[in-house]
Amino acid sequence: MIKKKHIVLFAFLLFSFGNHLFAQENPDSIALVEDQLENNFYEAVKQRGIENYDKAIVSIQKCIEKEPKNAAFQYELGKNYLSLKNYVDAESAFKKAVELDNKQRWYWNGLYDVYYQTKDYQKSIPIVEKLIEFDPNMKEDLVSLFMNTNQHGKALDLLKDMESKSKLTSTMEFYKLKIQESNNYSKPQKEQLEEAIKKNPKVEQNYIDLIVLYTSFNQEDKAFEVAKQLEKEIPNSDWAHVSLVKFHLNNNDGENASKSMFKILDNDRMDLKIKHRVFNEFLIFAYKNPAYLKDIDKAIPYFDIDREINVAKELAKFFWKKNDLDKTAFYFEKGLKKNPEDVDAMELYLEVLIQKQDYQLVTRRADDYIESFPTQADFYFYSGLGYNQLKEYKKAKNILENGLDFVIENKVLEANFYKQLIISCENLNDNAKKELYNNKLKQLQK
């Protein structure tokens, strides 16, 4: 089956060589050539679509014989060589495409793919510099290439240019900190920022960079001094609170620490990793000072945009380690509201309910989960265990026997099923089944 991206490319290529053909002076005399070209190109696209790259190459080479200066054909040839990991011929084909038409981004992209896959980062650099003309977002690739080739000075200059125009992504921020932490750049960077602050005390970005730099060196005291200076010069700056929140926590000033935290959480320019760090520092304080746990609950929605970390779920794990089962269950419930498809969180939540001995809720939740995820064996186990504890042995037996079908290569879970089934059968006086599951358990334990 020809994939969508192949169809799109086909349309592009057909247009490329089609216009060339139709521009001929005597179309009748070239009709046969045109038919051959179209047939060979169709065949090349078809063979590439079903991943017969060798056959695709043969067909596209026939096109090139008729149209040796058609850049689109060279590009298609390069793609097939690249799929076969024949990097030498792929590079040659893409280079010819670029020589014939250097205004097509995709031809340059082909060369970049060759150099990137072969880890020839030095050759990649001029290609990516060209690609930036088509797409400024390729600057991130160029930074990565500078880092891979130890050209940290060029990487830092480019990062500064990018930062002056927009907020850096987390990866770019990481690269910036990594460069600044190195001996070659940290000292002059610090001195430059300090000098810049003296000359222009109302420029917020210099304070921010210096705070981040000191924080990366774990020099919290110096970062706080900069934050205090920032607060004095630019009282409305939220960035001052990055260090102030730590200061307030150290002084056991929960009220002001909370205010600082929410200033940070409210700032859309603040990176999520900074918000997480401040939140975690406040969490440790709030655990020791439970009156401030209400602020933790209030802060959770600020992280709803985070696609990687479910803060409520992580809070549940935190309180589980502290043996606070009530709060653990509470935060697992919050976490599942944010992500109702999180099977891992469901299993952990059920385990907590078992530890709480809340068997009514265990069976209710487990049965709900079974409806949504009917092949998830663990949910049957928790439901069966709960019903056994509630002395509803018939329900337990039916659910456990249904769930056994979904236990695959998990001997621990399978053994737990048999143990619960033995309890159910014993209380139902089903001695035959009890003996059966006893034997299965013994066999498994061997």
Question: Is residue 435 a contact partner of residue 419, using CB atoms and an 8 Å limit?
Answer: no
For residues 130-139, b (16+ Cβ closer than 10 Å) or e, as one string?
Answer: bbeeeeeebb
Report the 10 Å Cβ neighbour count for 52.
16
| CB distance 265 to 302 below 8 Å | yes
Give the C-alpha separation, 33 to 63, whole Å. 10
The pLDDT assigned to 35 comes to: 65
Q: Phi-psi bin for 391: left (phi > 0), alpha (psi -120 to 50), beta?
A: left
* Structure tokens belonging to residue 279: 């939140």
Q: pLDDT tens track of the chain, all 446 residues?
A: 333 333 334 434 443 444 343 333 434 444 444 567 677 777 777 777 787 888 888 888 888 888 888 888 888 888 888 888 888 888 998 999 889 888 888 889 889 998 888 888 888 899 888 888 888 888 888 988 888 887 888 888 888 888 877 778 878 888 887 776 665 555 557 888 889 999 999 888 888 888 777 766 667 678 778 888 888 888 778 777 877 888 889 889 999 999 999 998 988 777 777 888 899 999 999 999 999 999 999 999 999 888 788 999 999 999 999 999 999 999 999 999 989 999 999 999 999 999 999 999 999 999 999 999 999 999 999 999 999 999 999 999 999 999 999 998 889 999 999 999 999 999 999 999 999 999 999 998 87
- Give pLDDT, residue 12: 42
Instruction: State both tokens at 224.
Output: 């706080």
Q: With CA atoms as reference, report the closest residue to 272 among 161, 168, 166.
A: 168
Closest CA to 433 of 405, 397, 403: 397
130's tokens: 């060209």
The domains of the chain are located at: 1-133, 135-181
pLDDT at 185: 57
Q: Cα 220–224–228 angle (5° rounding)?
A: 175
pTM for the model: 0.54
Residues 6+ apart with CB under 8 A from 32: none
| Alpha-carbon dihedral sign for residues 44, 50, 55, 56 | positive
Which superfamily does 1-133 belong to?
Tetratricopeptide repeat domain (1.25.40.10)
- Residue whose structure tokens are 């456990």: 400
Let me know: does 404 contact 417? Beta carbons within 8 Å. yes
Report which residue type is found at 397.
K
